[in-house]
Amino acid sequence: MLRLFIILTFWISLFSAEVEEHRWKNGEMFLSFLEKNKLPLKNLYYNLDRESQILTTEMHTGIHYQILRAKDGTIEQILLPLNSELQIHIYKDKKSYSFEIIPIVLNKEIEALTLTITSSPNYNLTKETGSHKLAKIFISAFRNSLNFKNNIRKGDKLVMIYQQLYRLGNRFSMPILKTAMIEMRGKKNYIYLNDDDRYYDENGHRAKGFLLNAPVKGARISSYFTKRRFHPILKKWKAHLGVDFAVRRGTPIAAAGSGKVIFASRNGAYGNLIKIRHSDGYETRYAHMKSFRRGIHRGSYVKKGQIIGYVGTTGRSTGPHLHFELRKNGTAIDPLKVVRVSTKKLKGKERKKFFTLKDKYNKEIEYHLFNQTKFKKTPKVERRCYFQNLK
């Protein structure tokens, strides 16, 4: 049975257990964390299966985690977020401790802000919000279409509308930019997140970015990217950090982008695996391969579209397919958001639907511009709060 923390108000929870909030330190390891808190290493690490042990290495520096203690100081539960959807749950079961992976309960909020530029979008966004993440998603959206260095003038305005996730009342994970506008010498420039999860400008042209080719031809997608999937065979929550392309055995696999092969060997559940490092911190992974193409090995340099191997069913696989992953600075991201599966342009119903969405976003942007909407700051609360411990 899953045990979750449920937030209660201060005046209701006078007799509840106490929750401490901490931040994961740079270089801290899961084993050292257990030792520091005097928790049993055997139950909570050495008795875990290999995949669960690997998951414990996914903790990111600076992530907020919670420890629930009884009145005598004994640890009752711990929540350690692994990504935006899954977390490690350690809980006291009678006199021992147990380990499980459970979903994260999140709240989604649509937020907006307007500001006047005095220096640069990056500087002003960071100064106003204190969030490097918000500045990053704004700059990245316009990176390949606008020149901020030469065309920004003091007094230009910007508006951004974004989705923010909240976990236990705190901002959590990377925000998602929905739409944005920036003035440059009096001209308004827009970007919109369409229903296909790709960005377009005001003319319905797709924004340029780091694009990859599809690694196999003629395949159907049998499994999509998700950080929260209940595995039908293993009977536990797992992340599926890639896209599965189902296709016949022996189908050629092409490098999705140019780069250097940094791994080409057998790797557990991945089976035969190739990793390619690309520019700007990107890395692609190709798993369950039947074999590698002759001449492809660690240290090889490959070009976009070059054949690197063939589809198989090695490792943990129920049938021939390619498991394809994309990582940015070590973090797995959805390949379909940057892979160029097709080059079709918006037309017909898709184009009409986009312009309806665009009109809706433009009205929202004008509303926030007129009202000079300020950044919503998270209310300051004490580091310690109270939660009900449900058993």
Q: What are the distances in angstroms from CA 150 to CA 126, 147, 154, 359?
A: 20, 6, 12, 29
In degrees and rounded to multiples of 5, residue 334 shows phi and psi of: -70, 115
Q: Report, in angstroms and rounded to the nearest whole number, the Rg of the chain calculated over CA atoms.
A: 24
**Where are the domains positioned within the chain?**
5-105, 107-206+346-371, 212-340
Full-model pTM:
0.66
The amino acid present at 53, given as its one-letter code, is Q
Task: State the pLDDT at residue 2.
Answer: 42
- CATH no., domain 107-206+346-371: 3.10.450.350
Confidence of residue 225 (pLDDT cuts 50, 70, 90): confident
Confidence of residue 109 (pLDDT cuts 50, 70, 90): very high
In degrees and rounded to multiples of 5, residue 36 shows phi and psi of: -60, -35
Rounded mean pLDDT, 140-159: 84
Matching CATH number, 5-105, of 3.10.450.350, 1.10.3720.10, 1.10.1380.10, 3.30.1520.10: 3.10.450.350
Q: How many Å apart are CA 263 and CA 265, to the nearest integer?
A: 6
Contact indicator for 83, 227 with CB cutoff of 8 Å: yes
Q: How many Å apart are CA 235 and CA 231, to the nearest integer?
A: 5
Confidence of residue 380 (pLDDT cuts 50, 70, 90): low
Structure token digits, residue 320 = 């021939």
**5-105 and 212-340: identical CATH topology:** no
- B/e letters for 26-43, b = 16+ CB within 10 Å, e = fewer, are eeeebeebbeeeebeeeb
Q: How many Å apart are CA 231 and CA 238, to the nearest integer?
A: 6
The 10s digit of each residue's pLDDT in 262-287 is: 999 999 889 999 999 998 788 999 99
Task: State the pLDDT at residue 15.
Answer: 44
The 10s digit of each residue's pLDDT in 296-355 is: 999 999 988 899 999 999 998 888 999 999 998 888 888 887 765 444 568 889 999 999
Matching CATH number, 212-340, of 3.30.420.40, 3.40.109.10, 3.30.950.10, 2.70.70.10: 2.70.70.10
The 10s digit of each residue's pLDDT in 40-88 is: 999 999 999 887 888 888 888 888 899 999 888 899 999 999 887 889 9
Pairing assessment for the beta strands 187-193 and 170-184 based on DSSP bridges: antiparallel
User: Tokens 């999140």, residue?
Assistant: 106
Rounded mean pLDDT, 108-116: 95
Confidence of residue 250 (pLDDT cuts 50, 70, 90): very high
